[in-house]
Amino acid sequence: MTLNRVVITGLGALTPLGNNVSDFWDGLRNGVSGANEITRFDTTKFKTHIACELKNFEATDYMDKKDARKNDPFIIYAIVSVEEAIKDSKLLVDRLNRERCGVVWASGIGGVDTLYSEISDYNTGDGTPRFSPFLATKMIIDMAAGQLAIKYGFKGANYATVSACASSANAIIDAYYQILLGNADVMIAGGSESPITPVSIGGFNAMHALSTRNDDCKTASRPYDKDRDGFVIGEGAGALILESLPHALKRKAKIYAEISGVGLSCDAFHITAPDPNGYGAALSMKNAISNAKIRPTNINYINTHGTSTSLGDVSEINAIKSVFGNKSKVVVSSTKSMTGHLLGAAGAIEAIASILSIKNGYIPPTINHFTDDPDIDPCINILFNKAKKRSVNYVMSNAFGFGGHNTSIIFKKFNSSETY
């Protein structure tokens, strides 16, 4: 069968560095930290007081109060980021064959804010069950995909992917396959997360996953640094418009990049800890390279999962070394040093960062590096503290999740003359 080439024609971002793609990229280029003290609730009794919250965001700037009340923040973030991506793509939705347009949208934990609030209100009340009629539709993870399909009338494949912090990378991969195999012309893909709540902070604190560098929040997320002490949680959304190449060319669309290959694997090792040798992550990267029909030497940049945890960072670097060798020229960085960890939305946000590195010829840095970690192989070319101007033809974006889920996506600079 003939396989479709799949290209990216629209981007939307809602992040701790900015509420649109342009501001997000400016923050990455300039090495800005999105971390601050948590403003959503009193953190006095918590070990962690910091997070990467959205700045100057009001849902009612994008929708009326009635719609805002009916939706959990993770759904609102999805709607806002996708609206930017649709506008960026210049898709004329009313002229599309919407039976061949779909949505795959991810979240790691969905409407946890809604669920926490409803249970808290019930437990502090008189015992009478007064729950919102929108509790279920605000909470369940698939509802963002459903709401987006309703908004745009997309009647093709529609569902959610959930694989912890790999969730939105899985969404992009699934959307890619829908187009690759000829089942769709256009797909919305991405993910959103709104996890800055007492239950999320408390839960991740209990498993010692979060940084407690409360007195120095701007430098708390420090992937690959010797003194890293956990990730800084973040919130937001990332949206991508995927199209078949013929569909995009017919309407003379702007093309950011092409998806060259994808890889999936599982550690099959532990519920939270990665394989220390990085076997599963390495397998995911190898699978993506094989799927793209290229060599490791073709990859110019790897946007790593790089969460700033003691075990995860070493495991991923070990995996990169096993795939690319210790003399590789590939540049490595973690943008989570700036955005924090957006959990289920991380893969989409970092895919956008990867695509923009191709478009703009810059590699964003890993900020907050102060002390080399002896467990991190110095032969791996990690870009620290300052962005680097460099032509990027192929970039790999990694996203891994609790449960051992591994994803790798390779984006490449678009070349219309290439064929499969």
411 DSSP assignment? E
Assigned token pair, 368: 């907050």
Q: Is the CB of residue 196 less than 8 Å from the CB of residue 38? A: yes
Q: What is the pLDDT of residues 263-317, one digit of tens each?
A: 999 999 999 999 999 999 999 999 999 999 999 999 999 999 999 999 999 999 9
Assigned token pair, 405: 């889920």
Catalytic residue list contains 208: no
> What pLDDT is attached to residue 420?
52
Q: Which of these is catalytic: 165, 247, 369, 405? A: 165
pTM comes to: 0.97
Q: Is the CB of residue 33 less than 8 Å from the CB of residue 368? A: yes
Q: Is the CB of residue 358 less than 8 Å from the CB of residue 392? A: yes
Cα separation of 389 and 387, whole Å?
A: 7
Cα separation of 122 and 130, whole Å?
A: 7
398 DSSP assignment? E
Cα separation of 64 and 228, whole Å?
A: 42
> Rounded to whole angstroms, what are the CA distances from 164 to 160, 312, 363?
12, 14, 26
Q: Which of these is catalytic: 52, 247, 305, 369? A: 305
Buried b (16+ CB within 10 A) or exposed e, 309-322: beebbbbbbbbbbb
381-382 vs 331-333, strand pairing mode: parallel
Catalytic residue list contains 405: no
* Contacts with 181 (C-beta within 8 Å, 6 or more apart), sequence order: 1, 3, 4
Nearest to 396 by CA among 345, 350, 328, 359: 350
Cα separation of 2 and 15, whole Å?
A: 38
Q: Is the CB of residue 256 less than 8 Å from the CB of residue 8? A: yes
CA 21 to chain centroid, in Å, comes to: 13
Helix locations, 186-299, DSSP H: 198-206, 245-250, 279-292
Consecutive H or E run containing 394: strand 394-401
Nearest to 182 by CA among 277, 247, 130, 118: 247
Q: What is the pLDDT along the chain (420 residues), one digit of tens a residue?
A: 789 999 999 999 999 999 999 999 999 999 999 999 999 999 999 999 999 999 999 999 999 999 999 999 999 999 999 999 999 999 999 999 999 999 999 999 999 999 999 999 999 988 899 999 999 999 999 999 999 999 999 999 999 999 999 999 999 999 999 999 999 999 999 999 999 999 999 999 999 999 999 999 999 999 999 999 999 999 999 999 999 999 999 999 999 999 999 999 999 999 999 999 999 999 999 999 999 999 999 999 999 999 999 999 999 999 999 999 988 899 999 999 999 999 999 999 999 999 999 999 999 999 999 999 999 999 999 999 999 999 999 999 999 999 999 999 999 999 877 765
Q: Which of these is catalytic: 52, 217, 341, 369? A: 341
Catalytic residue list contains 341: yes
Q: Which domains does the chain have, with CATH numbers?
A: 6-250 (3.40.47.10), 261-411 (3.40.47.10)
> What pLDDT is attached to residue 52?
98
